[in-house]
Structure 1
Amino acid sequence: MTTIRAAHPADAAAIAGIYNHYVTHSTITFEEIEVTSAEIARRIDHVITAGLPWLVLEDRDEILGYAYATKWKERSAYRRSVESSIYLKPCAIGNGHARRLYARLLELLTQCGIHLVIGGVAQPNEASMALHQKMGFEPVGSFREVGFKFGSWLDVSYWQLRLGV
């Protein structure tokens, strides 16, 4: 049975393992060098210290995925807008886990007083666009050729969801 819980810095190695798969094998993240467990632990602490959620999806003590939100920008007027991120182990894709994890993240963001959630989707990524659409996000624009990875220029589309707070 899968459960969703708050992440802890002790989860960093498992999270790094999930994330680094995408760093080295895909263009859905624009990082190009694998991230250490220590860096992931620092990022978890940074998100939690900012009063935002970082969640993990577990099945029998194995972390299958994670989702979190970060400040959209540092200026004070942006304080109620965040950018969301979600990653699953490849073996966990297609089982509804992403929807459950994202739904819980959105619920907690609402409780935190967040008004707007922004999702950036590196293109092409039909699965992520479909997930954002299912979660109620609407497309609001894109940046063309904003990233360069694996010898190709990459676009990023942006989606937003108003939480009504």
Structure 2
Amino acid sequence: MIRSVNFGDAQQILNIYNYYVINTDVTFDLTPMSLKAFQEKMHSITKGYPFIVYEEDNEILGYAYAGKFRERPAYNATLESTVYVKHNQHGKKIGSLLYAELISQLKQTDCRVVLGVLTLPNDASVKLHEKFGFEKVGHLKEVGFKFNTWLDVGIFELKLV
């Protein structure tokens, strides 16, 4: 089931996210986020943007949300999307289901452009974004440093209007 997030989901979502912080380079956070910091982030996002979860048997298996791309007001119609699936649940199309719902919700808002900002290489995430019509519009080389490696970032754009 896909539904809107509630604050009781915070710990399960944080567990999904922190796995990626500790074990992968798909996020540029270097240390696990605290529950309090994550709850504050959730509160900030849900004040104005969609934040959804995929739940099965009372377990959160993935989540997606959109938030501000940048703070300056001229960017208000441009949002950045995020999707994470629990590390042991890949291959079940959870990410696709979440993204389809997120994009559907964003089409009901004033959002004009959605950006996916991805660590590269990341074939699975690139394929997910391309499946939904995102086009690669930028490639930033060696802009992040994690696990003693310089990492690239791709910027993928989906125009909703």
| Paired amino acid for 2:22 | T
Q: Post-superposition shift, 1:154? A: 0.3
Q: Are 1:112 and 2:82 counterparts? A: no
The residue that corresponds to 2:6 in the other structure is: 8
Q: Post-superposition shift, 1:52? A: 0.3
The residue that corresponds to 1:34 in the other structure is: 32
Q: Secondary structure at the match of 2:43?
A: helix
Q: Post-superposition shift, 1:41? A: 1.1
Q: Which of these residues, 114, 118, 122, is aligned with residue 121 of structure 1?
A: 118
| 4+ long deviations beyond 3 Å | none
| Paired amino acid for 2:51 | W
Q: Which of these residues, 31, 50, 70, is aligned with residue 67 of structure 2?
A: 70
The residue that corresponds to 1:145 in the other structure is: 142
Point out where structure 1 has 5 or more consecutive residues left out of the alignment: none
Q: Secondary structure at the match of 1:91?
A: coil
| Paired amino acid for 1:59 | E
Q: Is the 1:10–1:41 contact (alpha carbons within 8 Å) kept by the matching residues of 2?
A: no
Point out where structure 2 has 5 or more consecutive residues left out of the alignment: none
The two structures have a TM-score, normalised by structure 1, of 0.95
Separation (CA, whole Å) in 2 of partners of 1:6 and 1:138:
27
Q: Quick one: percent identity of the two aligned structures?
A: 41
Q: Is the 1:142–1:158 contact (alpha carbons within 8 Å) kept by the matching residues of 2?
A: yes
Q: Post-superposition shift, 1:112? A: 1.5
Q: Secondary structure at the match of 1:31?
A: coil
Q: Post-superposition shift, 1:116? A: 0.2
The two structures have a TM-score, normalised by structure 2, of 0.98
Separation (CA, whole Å) in 2 of partners of 1:11 and 1:56:
9
What is the aligned length? 161
Cα RMSD for the two superposed structures:
0.7
Separation (CA, whole Å) in 2 of partners of 1:20 and 1:134:
26
Q: Post-superposition shift, 1:82? A: 0.3
After superposition, give the CA deviation of every residue in 1:68-90 in whole Å (9 maximum; x if it has no partner). 11101111111100000100012
| Paired amino acid for 2:24 | S
The residue that corresponds to 1:99 in the other structure is: 96
Q: Post-superposition shift, 1:103? A: 0.6
Separation (CA, whole Å) in 1 of partners of 2:3 and 2:66:
15
Q: Secondary structure at the match of 1:141?
A: strand
The residue that corresponds to 2:76 in the other structure is: 79
Q: Post-superposition shift, 1:38? A: 1.6
